Amino acid sequence: MLQNEKTIRSEKIFQGKIINLRLDTVQLSDEKEYSREIIEHSGGAAIIPITEDNKIIMVRQFRKPVEDFLLEVPAGKLDKGEDPLVCAVRELKEETGYEAKDVKFLFSFYSSPGFSNEMLYLYVAKDLISGEVNPDEGEYIEIESYSIDELLNMIYNGEIKDGKTITAIMAVKDFLF
C-alpha cells in the first residue's frame, strides 16, 4: 500500500550558494519514525544546440565533485524565480556564444529524487547564430561538437558520463533523427 511521508520535524543543517541540506523526520503508518536527508536545489536548465549540418555543440569543464573533465550539453542553475527557458538561452549564450532563433522545450526531470529536489528542464535549440562567449567567474569551458552517432557511441563506451547529457542525446535521437 502506497503512502506519503508525514513530516514530524525538519532541521536545517546547511545553507549554501548552490544547495541547502535539511533533515526531515517522517512518520509512516507503522508508527515508526524515519530520517530523510534532503538536498534543496533551485533546479537547472539544459539546452541541446544543433547546427545546420546536424552537429551538437557540447561543453567540456572540470567538475570538482567527480574530479574529472566532463563533456556535457550547455546547462546551468536557475536563478531564484527564473523561467527555465530564459536560463537555458542565457547559459547557451554564456557558455558557447550562440544565440538561437528556434528553441523548443522537450521535458523536465528530477536528477536524483532519492535525496534531492533538483529538477532539470531540457530544451533543443536550432537556427543558431554564433557570437562571443561569456563564462561566469571561475568557470573554464572548452567547446566541442559531434554528430549524434558519435555521441551515442560515446555514451556506450563511457566517454560521456553526465546523466542529463545522456538523456539529452537520447531524447534528440528519439525526437529529431
61/72 Cα distance (integer angstroms): 8
Q: Which of 86, 67, 59 is nearest to 146 (CA)?
A: 59
* Window 19-48: residues binding a second copy (CB under 8 A): 19, 21, 23-24, 26, 28, 30, 32, 34-39, 41, 44
Write each residue from 82 to 121 as x if it is in contact with a second copy (CB under 8 A), else as -, in one continuous string.
Answer: ------------------------xxxxxxxxxxxxxxx-
The one catalytic residue in 33, 94, 137, 142 is: 137
CA distance 103 to 85: 8
Residue 139 annotated in active site: no
Query: Quick one: which of 8, 12, 60, 130 contacts a second copy (CB under 8 A)?
Result: 60
Report the nearest approach of a second copy to the CB of residue 50 (Å): 17
Cβ atoms of 121 and 113 closer than 8 Å: no
| 5-24: contacts with a second copy (CB under 8 A) | 5, 13-14, 16-19, 21, 23-24
Binding pattern for the stretch 156-175 against a second copy, x by CB under 8 A and - elsewhere = x-x-xxxxx-xx--xx-xx-
Q: Which grid cell sits at 6?
A: 508525514
Interface pattern 125-154 for a second copy (x via CB under 8 A): ------------xx-xxx---------x--
3 is a site residue for a second copy (CB under 8 A): yes
Q: Enumerate the β-bridge partners of residue 135.
A: none
d(CA 149, CA 140): 27
Q: Are 145 and 53 in contact (CB under 8 A)?
A: no
Distance CA 27, CA 7 (A): 7
Catalytic site positions: 137
